């Protein structure tokens, strides 16, 4: 591998001391910089690290690119979360491998990772499918979501309400722009960012890790609802009201509204499931009648 050239615009964290190579980084070589070296490269390193010229050993490290498995997982996850792959849809390792231009091995490993994240279901002798949820499971997911998001909101308001208000203000403003342009893709990404902001500001590692277990499924369900412009308008209004409560320091009111918001989303998705099941039954009955008519 060729060593990349240093230049003064490199960010400070591209260079680390010999004792500290971050996880996910690959060491290329160690560079010895003697005192008084007038080499342009050495001067750039001095500038970046803000060190006094002298004899020191630096480790040149570069960020390791994502593996084929990680790339495949990110691609399939994105298609599931954004609705390109429907709930219950069969997943073919061969088709996905051809689509990605890789062998089946990284795809198989990616699907196992997505299974651990709850986005994929593997049934022996049947195959691999995008996750599905019953109405009862939607209720259970909403219960977990409520517990975690209420805790995150409470901690965020206690620890740094101004930071949460600032983050939410920027997101809500962008939401309004997305709705005005009819851009549902941008809106649903911002919707997810709005809820994630509570966990970021709360700064509780274990709360964030627990939420990450269900976050992708929550986002996948939310994205399917965001295809309805009327539901997006209602959602936007609730996000605006949550922002106002946080801005005023009205913690109890914000928590009550967040509870209502999660329950509203739960009921909308259960209704969405019922309509989808009814449509599926209608489609199967139509296909059955077509087959009977041909015999």
Question: Domain with 210 in it: what CATH number?
Answer: 1.20.120.530
- Domain final residue pick, 114, 130, 146: 130
What does pLDDT average to in each consecutive run of 10 residues of the chain (295 residues)? 36 39 42 44 42 44 71 93 90 95 95 93 92 90 96 98 98 96 90 96 96 91 76 92 98 97 89 63 45 51
Q: Residues 144, 272: one domain? A: yes
Q: Residues 76, 55: one domain? A: no
Question: Domain with 105 in it: what CATH number?
Answer: 1.10.10.10
Q: Does the residue 77 lie in any domain?
A: yes
pLDDT for position 184: 87
Q: Residues 21, 78: one domain? A: no
Q: Does the residue 295 lie in any domain?
A: no
Q: Does the residue 231 lie in any domain?
A: yes
Q: Does the residue 7 lie in any domain?
A: no
This prediction has a pTM of 0.68
- Domain final residue pick, 25, 41, 63: 63
**Cα separation of 48 and 7, whole Å?**
9
Q: Residues 218, 103: one domain? A: no
26 forms bridges with which residues in the sheet? 62
For residue 249, give its domain range. 135-281
Provide the 3-class DSSP secondary structure of residue 269.
helix
17 forms bridges with which residues in the sheet? 58
Q: Residues 94, 197: one domain? A: no
pLDDT for position 293: 54
Q: Residues 277, 146: one domain? A: yes
Q: Residues 93, 118: one domain? A: yes
- Supply the Cα-derived Rg of the chain in whole angstroms: 25
If one counts the domains in the chain, the total is: 3
Q: Residues 81, 42: one domain? A: no
Q: Residues 231, 176: one domain? A: yes
pLDDT for position 226: 64
**Cα separation of 235 and 245, whole Å?**
16
- Domain final residue pick, 48, 63, 78: 63
Q: Residues 25, 155: one domain? A: no
Q: Residues 154, 196: one domain? A: yes
- The b/e string for 197-214 (b: 16+ C-beta within 10 A; e otherwise) is bbbebbebeebbebbeeb
pLDDT for position 64: 58
Q: Does the residue 294 lie in any domain?
A: no
């Amino acid at each position: 591998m060729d060593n990349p050239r240093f230049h003064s615009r490199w960010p400070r964290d591209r260079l680390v001391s010999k004792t500290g190579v971050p996880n996910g980084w690959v060491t290329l070589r160690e560079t010895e910089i003697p005192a008084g070296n007038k080499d342009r490269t050495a001067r750039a390193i001095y500038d970046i690290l803000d060190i006094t010229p002298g004899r020191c050993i630096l480790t040149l490290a570069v960020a390791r690119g994502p593996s084929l498995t990680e790339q495949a997982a990110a691609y399939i996850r994105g298609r599931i979360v954004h609705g390109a792959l429907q709930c219950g849809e069969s997943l073919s390792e061969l088709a996905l491998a051809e689509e990605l231009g890789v062998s089946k091995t990284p795809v198989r490993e990616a699907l196992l990772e997505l299974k651990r994240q709850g986005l994929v279901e593997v049934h022996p002798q049947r195959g691999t499918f995008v996750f599905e949820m019953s109405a009862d499971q939607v209720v259970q997911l909403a219960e977990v979501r409520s517990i975690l998001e209420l805790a995150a909101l409470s901690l965020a308001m206690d620890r740094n309400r101004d930071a949460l208000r600032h983050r939410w203000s920027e997101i809500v403003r962008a939401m309004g722009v997305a709705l005005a342009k009819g851009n549902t893709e941008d809106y649903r990404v911002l919707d997810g960012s709005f809820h994630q902001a509570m966990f970021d500001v709360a700064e509780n590692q274990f709360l964030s890790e627990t939420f990450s277990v269900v976050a992708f499924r929550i986002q996948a369900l939310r994205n399917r609802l965001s295809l309805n412009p009327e539901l997006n308008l209602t959602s936007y209004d609730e996000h605006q009201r949550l922002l106002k409560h946080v801005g005023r320091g009205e913690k109890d009111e914000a928590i009550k509204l967040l509870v209502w918001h999660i329950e509203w989303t739960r009921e909308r998705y259960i209704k969405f499931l019922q309509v989808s099941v009814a449509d599926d039954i209608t489609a199967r009955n139509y296909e059955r009648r077509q087959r009977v008519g041909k015999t």
